[in-house]
Structure 1
Protein backbone atom coordinates (compact mmCIF):
# COMPACT_ATOMS: atom_id res chain seq x y z
CA UNK A 1 0.00 0.00 0.00
CA UNK A 2 1.23 3.53 -0.68
CA UNK A 3 0.65 4.40 2.96
CA UNK A 4 3.77 2.39 3.79
CA UNK A 5 5.82 5.02 1.95
CA UNK A 6 4.40 8.01 3.84
CA UNK A 7 7.24 10.10 5.26
CA UNK A 8 7.19 12.90 7.83
CA UNK A 9 10.53 14.32 6.69
CA UNK A 10 13.45 15.70 8.66
CA UNK A 11 13.39 19.12 10.36
CA UNK A 12 16.45 20.19 8.36
CA UNK A 13 14.36 19.81 5.20
CA UNK A 14 12.26 22.91 5.91
CA UNK A 15 15.32 25.18 5.89
CA UNK A 16 16.56 24.01 2.51
CA UNK A 17 16.39 26.66 -0.24
CA UNK A 18 14.59 24.36 -2.68
CA UNK A 19 11.72 23.82 -0.22
CA UNK A 20 11.32 27.55 0.31
CA UNK A 21 11.47 28.20 -3.44
CA UNK A 22 8.88 25.49 -4.04
CA UNK A 23 6.54 26.98 -1.43
CA UNK A 24 6.96 30.43 -2.97
CA UNK A 25 6.16 28.97 -6.39
CA UNK A 26 2.96 27.47 -4.95
CA UNK A 27 2.05 30.87 -3.49
CA UNK A 28 2.36 32.64 -6.84
CA UNK A 29 0.66 29.85 -8.79
CA UNK A 30 -2.28 29.92 -6.39
CA UNK A 31 -2.47 33.71 -6.55
CA UNK A 32 -2.59 33.55 -10.36
CA UNK A 33 -5.25 30.83 -10.32
CA UNK A 34 -7.57 32.35 -7.71
CA UNK A 35 -7.26 35.88 -9.06
CA UNK A 36 -8.44 34.74 -12.50
CA UNK A 37 -10.99 32.19 -11.29
CA UNK A 38 -12.60 34.22 -8.53
CA UNK A 39 -12.21 37.36 -10.61
CA UNK A 40 -14.25 35.84 -13.44
CA UNK A 41 -17.13 35.30 -11.04
CA UNK A 42 -16.88 38.86 -9.77
CA UNK A 43 -16.83 40.16 -13.34
CA UNK A 44 -20.00 38.20 -14.08
CA UNK A 45 -21.68 39.73 -11.03
CA UNK A 46 -20.58 43.18 -12.16
CA UNK A 47 -21.95 42.70 -15.67
CA UNK A 48 -25.27 41.29 -14.47
CA UNK A 49 -25.66 43.62 -11.49
CA UNK A 50 -25.49 40.61 -9.14
CA UNK A 51 -28.11 38.81 -11.17
CA UNK A 52 -28.95 35.13 -10.83
CA UNK A 53 -26.58 32.47 -12.13
CA UNK A 54 -27.02 31.46 -15.76
CA UNK A 55 -25.68 28.66 -17.98
CA UNK A 56 -23.52 31.26 -19.72
CA UNK A 57 -21.99 32.28 -16.41
CA UNK A 58 -21.26 28.64 -15.57
CA UNK A 59 -19.49 28.11 -18.89
CA UNK A 60 -17.49 31.30 -18.38
CA UNK A 61 -16.43 30.17 -14.90
CA UNK A 62 -15.45 26.76 -16.26
CA UNK A 63 -13.28 28.26 -18.99
CA UNK A 64 -11.68 30.83 -16.68
CA UNK A 65 -10.70 28.16 -14.14
CA UNK A 66 -9.50 25.72 -16.80
CA UNK A 67 -7.30 28.30 -18.53
CA UNK A 68 -5.98 29.76 -15.27
CA UNK A 69 -5.16 26.36 -13.79
CA UNK A 70 -3.39 25.30 -16.97
CA UNK A 71 -1.13 28.34 -16.63
CA UNK A 72 -0.73 28.05 -12.84
CA UNK A 73 0.31 24.38 -13.03
CA UNK A 74 2.65 25.06 -15.95
CA UNK A 75 4.54 27.91 -14.30
CA UNK A 76 5.01 25.94 -11.07
CA UNK A 77 5.69 22.50 -12.49
CA UNK A 78 9.49 22.76 -12.71
CA UNK A 79 9.82 24.27 -9.23
CA UNK A 80 7.19 22.75 -6.95
CA UNK A 81 5.46 20.22 -9.16
CA UNK A 82 2.61 22.66 -9.74
CA UNK A 83 0.20 21.29 -7.15
CA UNK A 84 -1.84 24.52 -6.81
CA UNK A 85 -4.21 22.66 -4.47
CA UNK A 86 -3.88 21.40 -0.88
CA UNK A 87 -5.83 18.27 -1.88
CA UNK A 88 -3.32 17.48 -4.64
CA UNK A 89 -0.50 17.96 -2.12
CA UNK A 90 -2.33 15.63 0.29
CA UNK A 91 -2.74 13.04 -2.46
CA UNK A 92 0.97 13.28 -3.23
CA UNK A 93 1.72 12.80 0.47
CA UNK A 94 -0.52 9.73 0.72
CA UNK A 95 1.29 8.22 -2.25
CA UNK A 96 4.69 8.85 -0.68
CA UNK A 97 5.65 11.50 -3.25
CA UNK A 98 6.14 14.38 -0.80
CA UNK A 99 7.00 14.54 2.89
CA UNK A 100 4.59 15.90 5.47
CA UNK A 101 6.90 18.78 6.41
CA UNK A 102 7.28 19.89 2.81
CA UNK A 103 3.55 19.46 2.32
CA UNK A 104 2.81 21.75 5.27
CA UNK A 105 4.91 24.47 3.64
CA UNK A 106 2.93 23.96 0.43
CA UNK A 107 -0.39 24.20 2.30
CA UNK A 108 0.58 27.43 4.04
CA UNK A 109 1.75 28.97 0.76
CA UNK A 110 -1.37 27.84 -1.10
CA UNK A 111 -3.74 29.24 1.52
CA UNK A 112 -1.85 32.54 1.70
CA UNK A 113 -1.85 32.81 -2.10
CA UNK A 114 -5.62 32.41 -2.18
CA UNK A 115 -6.22 34.96 0.59
CA UNK A 116 -3.89 37.52 -1.01
CA UNK A 117 -5.57 37.04 -4.39
CA UNK A 118 -9.00 37.66 -2.87
CA UNK A 119 -7.82 40.76 -0.99
CA UNK A 120 -6.28 42.11 -4.19
CA UNK A 121 -9.54 41.48 -6.04
CA UNK A 122 -11.55 43.25 -3.36
CA UNK A 123 -9.31 46.32 -3.42
CA UNK A 124 -8.99 46.37 -7.21
CA UNK A 125 -12.77 46.26 -7.70
CA UNK A 126 -13.58 48.98 -5.20
CA UNK A 127 -14.79 46.67 -2.46
CA UNK A 128 -16.82 44.19 -4.49
CA UNK A 129 -17.57 41.05 -2.51
CA UNK A 130 -15.49 37.91 -3.01
CA UNK A 131 -18.29 35.40 -2.62
CA UNK A 132 -17.61 32.34 -0.50
CA UNK A 133 -18.60 28.93 -1.80
CA UNK A 134 -22.10 27.85 -0.80
CA UNK A 135 -24.64 25.12 -1.44
CA UNK A 136 -27.51 25.65 -3.85
CA UNK A 137 -31.09 25.17 -2.71
CA UNK A 138 -32.13 21.54 -2.18
CA UNK A 139 -28.47 20.47 -1.99
CA UNK A 140 -27.58 18.97 1.38
CA UNK A 141 -24.12 18.92 2.92
CA UNK A 142 -23.96 15.19 2.18
CA UNK A 143 -24.82 15.78 -1.48
CA UNK A 144 -22.08 18.40 -1.65
CA UNK A 145 -19.61 16.18 0.22
CA UNK A 146 -20.14 13.36 -2.28
CA UNK A 147 -19.80 15.76 -5.19
CA UNK A 148 -16.52 17.13 -3.85
CA UNK A 149 -15.19 13.62 -3.20
CA UNK A 150 -15.98 12.40 -6.72
CA UNK A 151 -14.81 15.55 -8.51
CA UNK A 152 -11.55 15.69 -6.57
CA UNK A 153 -11.01 11.99 -7.15
CA UNK A 154 -11.15 12.71 -10.89
CA UNK A 155 -8.75 15.62 -10.52
CA UNK A 156 -6.13 13.81 -8.43
CA UNK A 157 -6.45 10.64 -10.54
CA UNK A 158 -5.65 12.81 -13.56
CA UNK A 159 -2.67 14.33 -11.74
CA UNK A 160 -1.32 10.86 -10.94
CA UNK A 161 -1.87 9.56 -14.47
CA UNK A 162 -0.31 12.50 -16.29
CA UNK A 163 2.24 13.93 -13.85
CA UNK A 164 3.15 11.47 -11.08
CA UNK A 165 3.21 8.06 -12.77
CA UNK A 166 6.85 7.24 -13.64
CA UNK A 167 5.58 5.46 -16.78
CA UNK A 168 3.79 8.55 -18.09
CA UNK A 169 6.24 9.06 -20.96
CA UNK A 170 5.17 11.75 -23.40
CA UNK A 171 1.81 12.09 -21.65
CA UNK A 172 3.55 14.28 -19.07
CA UNK A 173 3.76 17.05 -21.64
CA UNK A 174 -0.02 17.50 -21.59
CA UNK A 175 -0.37 17.21 -17.80
CA UNK A 176 -1.13 20.92 -17.16
CA UNK A 177 -3.80 21.12 -19.84
CA UNK A 178 -5.33 17.78 -18.80
CA UNK A 179 -5.51 18.99 -15.20
CA UNK A 180 -7.06 22.27 -16.30
CA UNK A 181 -9.58 20.45 -18.50
CA UNK A 182 -10.80 18.10 -15.74
CA UNK A 183 -11.32 21.02 -13.38
CA UNK A 184 -13.22 22.94 -16.06
CA UNK A 185 -15.36 19.89 -16.87
CA UNK A 186 -16.11 19.27 -13.19
CA UNK A 187 -17.23 22.87 -12.77
CA UNK A 188 -19.73 22.30 -15.59
CA UNK A 189 -20.93 19.18 -13.76
CA UNK A 190 -20.99 20.40 -10.17
CA UNK A 191 -20.87 24.17 -10.27
CA UNK A 192 -24.63 24.57 -10.15
CA UNK A 193 -24.85 22.45 -7.00
CA UNK A 194 -22.04 23.49 -4.67
CA UNK A 195 -19.71 25.69 -6.72
CA UNK A 196 -17.40 22.75 -7.57
CA UNK A 197 -14.38 23.74 -5.49
CA UNK A 198 -12.19 20.59 -5.49
CA UNK A 199 -9.62 22.81 -3.80
CA UNK A 200 -9.66 23.83 -0.11
CA UNK A 201 -7.47 26.88 -0.80
CA UNK A 202 -9.86 28.16 -3.47
CA UNK A 203 -12.66 27.98 -0.89
CA UNK A 204 -10.53 29.36 1.95
CA UNK A 205 -9.54 32.70 0.39
CA UNK A 206 -13.08 33.97 -0.31
CA UNK A 207 -14.27 32.65 3.07
CA UNK A 208 -11.59 34.64 4.88
CA UNK A 209 -12.14 37.88 2.98
CA UNK A 210 -15.95 37.71 3.16
CA UNK A 211 -15.83 36.02 6.59
CA UNK A 212 -18.45 33.48 5.59
CA UNK A 213 -17.90 29.94 6.89
CA UNK A 214 -21.25 28.22 6.34
CA UNK A 215 -20.66 24.55 5.44
CA UNK A 216 -17.00 25.40 4.87
CA UNK A 217 -15.88 22.03 6.25
CA UNK A 218 -17.40 20.32 3.20
CA UNK A 219 -14.83 22.03 0.97
CA UNK A 220 -12.01 20.53 3.02
CA UNK A 221 -13.33 17.08 3.86
CA UNK A 222 -14.56 16.26 0.36
CA UNK A 223 -11.39 17.16 -1.53
CA UNK A 224 -9.10 15.49 1.01
CA UNK A 225 -11.13 12.27 0.99
CA UNK A 226 -11.32 12.22 -2.80
CA UNK A 227 -7.60 12.92 -3.11
CA UNK A 228 -6.67 10.12 -0.70
CA UNK A 229 -8.86 7.60 -2.53
CA UNK A 230 -7.42 8.57 -5.92
CA UNK A 231 -3.84 8.37 -4.64
CA UNK A 232 -4.35 4.93 -3.10
CA UNK A 233 -6.26 3.53 -6.09
CA UNK A 234 -3.83 4.76 -8.74
CA UNK A 235 -0.71 3.90 -6.75
CA UNK A 236 -1.92 0.45 -5.74
CA UNK A 237 -3.36 -0.59 -9.10
CA UNK A 238 -1.13 1.12 -11.64
CA UNK A 239 2.22 1.94 -10.02
CA UNK A 240 3.05 -0.44 -7.15
CA UNK A 241 3.73 -3.99 -8.22
CA UNK A 242 3.23 -3.31 -11.92
CA UNK A 243 6.06 -4.14 -14.28
CA UNK A 244 7.84 -1.55 -16.35
CA UNK A 245 5.78 -0.26 -19.22
CA UNK A 246 7.24 1.06 -22.41
CA UNK A 247 5.21 4.01 -23.74
CA UNK A 248 3.78 3.58 -27.24
CA UNK A 249 5.63 5.15 -30.10
CA UNK A 250 3.91 8.20 -31.48
CA UNK A 251 3.56 6.18 -34.69
CA UNK A 252 1.22 3.80 -32.86
CA UNK A 253 -1.55 6.32 -32.20
Structure 2
Protein backbone atom coordinates (compact mmCIF):
# COMPACT_ATOMS: atom_id res chain seq x y z
CA UNK A 1 0.00 0.00 0.00
CA UNK A 2 1.30 3.47 -0.91
CA UNK A 3 -0.32 6.75 0.15
CA UNK A 4 1.01 9.72 -1.80
CA UNK A 5 1.33 12.92 0.27
CA UNK A 6 1.73 15.58 -2.38
CA UNK A 7 3.60 18.79 -1.54
CA UNK A 8 0.50 20.95 -1.92
CA UNK A 9 -1.48 18.74 0.52
CA UNK A 10 0.97 19.20 3.41
CA UNK A 11 0.31 21.44 6.39
CA UNK A 12 2.44 24.56 6.65
CA UNK A 13 3.64 27.38 8.88
CA UNK A 14 5.14 30.78 8.05
CA UNK A 15 6.80 32.79 10.83
CA UNK A 16 8.74 35.08 8.51
CA UNK A 17 12.15 33.75 9.44
CA UNK A 18 10.81 30.17 9.21
CA UNK A 19 8.78 28.61 6.42
CA UNK A 20 7.84 24.99 7.07
CA UNK A 21 5.86 22.22 5.43
CA UNK A 22 4.66 19.32 7.59
CA UNK A 23 4.67 15.79 6.15
CA UNK A 24 3.07 14.69 9.43
CA UNK A 25 0.38 16.71 11.18
CA UNK A 26 1.79 18.75 14.07
CA UNK A 27 -1.11 21.15 14.67
CA UNK A 28 -4.89 21.25 14.40
CA UNK A 29 -4.56 23.20 11.12
CA UNK A 30 -2.56 20.43 9.40
CA UNK A 31 -4.00 17.68 7.23
CA UNK A 32 -5.65 15.24 9.69
CA UNK A 33 -5.01 12.33 7.32
CA UNK A 34 -1.25 12.76 7.73
CA UNK A 35 -0.83 10.82 10.96
CA UNK A 36 2.24 9.17 12.48
CA UNK A 37 3.81 6.11 10.91
CA UNK A 38 4.93 3.77 13.66
CA UNK A 39 7.57 5.64 15.72
CA UNK A 40 7.91 8.33 13.02
CA UNK A 41 5.92 11.31 14.31
CA UNK A 42 7.42 14.42 12.64
CA UNK A 43 8.99 15.20 9.28
CA UNK A 44 9.22 18.95 8.73
CA UNK A 45 10.66 20.51 5.59
CA UNK A 46 12.08 23.74 7.07
CA UNK A 47 13.50 26.80 5.36
CA UNK A 48 15.21 29.22 7.77
CA UNK A 49 16.15 32.71 6.66
CA UNK A 50 19.71 34.02 6.93
CA UNK A 51 20.22 35.10 10.55
CA UNK A 52 17.13 33.21 11.75
CA UNK A 53 16.85 30.20 14.00
CA UNK A 54 15.36 28.48 17.01
CA UNK A 55 16.44 29.96 20.37
CA UNK A 56 17.40 27.71 23.28
CA UNK A 57 14.55 25.26 23.97
CA UNK A 58 14.10 21.78 25.40
CA UNK A 59 13.22 18.24 24.35
CA UNK A 60 12.99 14.86 26.05
CA UNK A 61 12.34 11.28 24.99
CA UNK A 62 12.62 11.89 21.26
CA UNK A 63 15.22 11.11 18.59
CA UNK A 64 15.75 14.10 16.28
CA UNK A 65 17.54 13.68 12.96
CA UNK A 66 18.43 16.76 10.88
CA UNK A 67 19.19 16.26 7.19
CA UNK A 68 20.73 19.44 5.76
CA UNK A 69 19.84 20.07 2.11
CA UNK A 70 21.19 23.61 1.59
CA UNK A 71 23.29 26.01 3.63
CA UNK A 72 24.51 25.21 7.13
CA UNK A 73 22.99 24.96 10.59
CA UNK A 74 24.76 25.99 13.77
CA UNK A 75 24.06 23.94 16.90
CA UNK A 76 24.80 24.41 20.60
CA UNK A 77 23.32 22.62 23.58
CA UNK A 78 23.45 22.15 27.33
CA UNK A 79 25.89 19.25 26.93
CA UNK A 80 28.47 21.76 25.75
CA UNK A 81 28.29 20.48 22.18
CA UNK A 82 28.71 22.95 19.33
CA UNK A 83 28.56 22.17 15.66
CA UNK A 84 28.44 23.55 12.13
CA UNK A 85 26.41 21.13 10.04
CA UNK A 86 26.43 21.81 6.31
CA UNK A 87 24.66 20.46 3.23
CA UNK A 88 25.29 16.74 2.88
CA UNK A 89 25.78 16.32 6.64
CA UNK A 90 23.41 14.69 9.10
CA UNK A 91 23.07 15.40 12.81
CA UNK A 92 21.29 13.35 15.47
CA UNK A 93 20.18 14.30 18.95
CA UNK A 94 18.89 11.74 21.43
CA UNK A 95 17.00 13.90 23.92
CA UNK A 96 16.71 11.14 26.54
CA UNK A 97 16.02 12.49 30.02
CA UNK A 98 16.20 16.05 28.68
CA UNK A 99 18.35 18.45 26.69
CA UNK A 100 18.15 22.09 25.69
CA UNK A 101 19.59 23.33 22.42
CA UNK A 102 19.56 26.16 19.90
CA UNK A 103 19.77 25.92 16.11
CA UNK A 104 20.33 28.78 13.70
CA UNK A 105 21.24 29.53 10.10
CA UNK A 106 24.92 30.47 10.15
CA UNK A 107 25.38 30.58 6.37
CA UNK A 108 24.75 33.32 3.82
CA UNK A 109 21.91 31.48 2.01
CA UNK A 110 18.52 30.23 3.22
CA UNK A 111 18.96 27.05 5.27
CA UNK A 112 16.90 24.11 4.02
CA UNK A 113 16.71 20.96 6.11
CA UNK A 114 14.51 18.06 7.09
CA UNK A 115 13.73 17.72 10.80
CA UNK A 116 12.73 14.11 11.50
CA UNK A 117 11.46 13.00 14.91
CA UNK A 118 11.23 9.39 16.07
CA UNK A 119 9.98 7.96 19.34
CA UNK A 120 12.69 5.95 21.15
CA UNK A 121 12.31 2.27 21.97
CA UNK A 122 12.62 3.07 25.69
CA UNK A 123 12.17 6.38 27.49
CA UNK A 124 15.05 7.95 29.39
CA UNK A 125 18.77 7.55 28.94
CA UNK A 126 21.55 10.11 28.84
CA UNK A 127 21.08 12.80 26.18
CA UNK A 128 23.65 12.93 23.38
CA UNK A 129 24.43 14.72 20.11
CA UNK A 130 26.54 13.84 17.09
CA UNK A 131 27.03 14.75 13.44
CA UNK A 132 28.70 13.22 10.41
CA UNK A 133 29.23 14.10 6.73
CA UNK A 134 27.68 11.78 4.14
CA UNK A 135 28.97 12.86 0.71
CA UNK A 136 26.27 12.62 -1.92
CA UNK A 137 28.73 10.86 -4.24
CA UNK A 138 28.81 7.90 -1.82
CA UNK A 139 25.05 7.45 -2.27
CA UNK A 140 25.15 7.31 -6.08
CA UNK A 141 22.75 4.66 -7.38
CA UNK A 142 21.96 3.20 -3.96
CA UNK A 143 20.51 3.84 -0.54
CA UNK A 144 23.02 4.42 2.25
CA UNK A 145 22.04 4.18 5.92
CA UNK A 146 22.65 7.57 7.53
CA UNK A 147 21.25 6.96 11.03
CA UNK A 148 20.14 3.70 12.56
CA UNK A 149 18.83 2.04 15.68
CA UNK A 150 20.43 -1.26 14.64
CA UNK A 151 24.08 -2.06 15.51
CA UNK A 152 24.64 -3.97 12.27
CA UNK A 153 24.41 -0.72 10.28
CA UNK A 154 28.09 0.16 10.62
CA UNK A 155 29.02 3.71 9.71
CA UNK A 156 25.57 5.13 10.45
CA UNK A 157 24.93 7.61 13.23
CA UNK A 158 23.35 5.70 16.15
CA UNK A 159 19.81 6.44 17.30
CA UNK A 160 17.62 4.74 19.92
CA UNK A 161 14.57 4.09 17.74
CA UNK A 162 13.35 1.10 15.77
CA UNK A 163 14.19 2.84 12.49
CA UNK A 164 16.74 3.63 9.83
CA UNK A 165 17.22 6.90 7.96
CA UNK A 166 18.53 6.38 4.44
CA UNK A 167 19.59 8.56 1.53
CA UNK A 168 20.13 7.91 -2.19
CA UNK A 169 21.16 9.82 -5.32
CA UNK A 170 19.79 8.43 -8.58
CA UNK A 171 20.60 9.48 -12.13
CA UNK A 172 17.77 9.65 -14.64
CA UNK A 173 16.87 6.12 -15.66
CA UNK A 174 18.49 4.43 -12.66
CA UNK A 175 16.46 2.06 -10.50
CA UNK A 176 16.85 0.82 -6.94
CA UNK A 177 14.99 -1.75 -4.87
CA UNK A 178 14.83 -1.16 -1.12
CA UNK A 179 13.62 -4.21 0.80
CA UNK A 180 11.07 -3.48 3.53
CA UNK A 181 9.07 -6.57 4.45
CA UNK A 182 5.36 -6.81 5.12
CA UNK A 183 5.79 -6.15 8.86
CA UNK A 184 7.59 -2.81 8.40
CA UNK A 185 6.71 0.52 6.83
CA UNK A 186 8.55 3.46 5.33
CA UNK A 187 8.20 7.12 4.49
CA UNK A 188 9.91 8.34 1.32
CA UNK A 189 10.52 11.99 0.32
CA UNK A 190 11.75 13.24 -3.05
CA UNK A 191 14.20 15.94 -1.99
CA UNK A 192 14.71 16.81 -5.66
CA UNK A 193 13.80 15.30 -9.00
CA UNK A 194 10.98 13.04 -10.13
CA UNK A 195 10.54 9.31 -9.60
CA UNK A 196 8.20 6.38 -9.96
CA UNK A 197 7.81 4.18 -6.87
CA UNK A 198 5.76 0.98 -7.02
CA UNK A 199 3.93 2.41 -10.02
CA UNK A 200 3.18 5.82 -8.44
CA UNK A 201 4.62 9.00 -9.98
CA UNK A 202 6.10 11.43 -7.44
CA UNK A 203 7.32 14.97 -8.00
CA UNK A 204 9.85 17.14 -6.17
CA UNK A 205 9.27 17.47 -2.40
CA UNK A 206 6.40 14.95 -2.40
CA UNK A 207 6.23 12.24 0.27
CA UNK A 208 4.77 8.74 0.37
CA UNK A 209 3.79 6.43 3.22
CA UNK A 210 4.59 2.86 2.19
CA UNK A 211 3.12 -0.04 4.20
CA UNK A 212 2.61 -3.79 3.89
CA UNK A 213 4.77 -4.30 0.81
CA UNK A 214 7.98 -6.36 0.51
CA UNK A 215 9.99 -3.57 -1.12
CA UNK A 216 10.02 -0.07 -2.58
CA UNK A 217 10.80 -0.32 -6.31
CA UNK A 218 12.04 3.10 -7.42
CA UNK A 219 13.02 4.43 -10.84
CA UNK A 220 14.33 7.98 -11.34
CA UNK A 221 12.63 9.87 -14.16
CA UNK A 222 15.26 12.62 -13.78
CA UNK A 223 18.27 13.10 -11.52
CA UNK A 224 16.84 12.72 -8.01
CA UNK A 225 17.80 12.95 -4.33
CA UNK A 226 15.80 10.70 -2.01
CA UNK A 227 15.46 10.41 1.75
CA UNK A 228 13.65 7.50 3.40
CA UNK A 229 12.84 6.40 6.94
CA UNK A 230 12.31 2.65 7.35
CA UNK A 231 10.41 2.09 10.59
CA UNK A 232 8.90 -0.62 12.72
CA UNK A 233 5.30 -1.83 12.45
CA UNK A 234 2.46 0.69 12.21
Tell me the TM-score range normalised by the shorter chain: under 0.3
Q: Which has the larger radius of gyration?
A: 1
Q: Which one has a larger percent helix, Structure 1 or Structure 2?
A: 1
Q: Which one has a larger percent strand, Structure 1 or Structure 2?
A: 2
TM-score normalised per structure 1? 0.22
Higher relative contact order (CA 8 A, sep 6+): 1
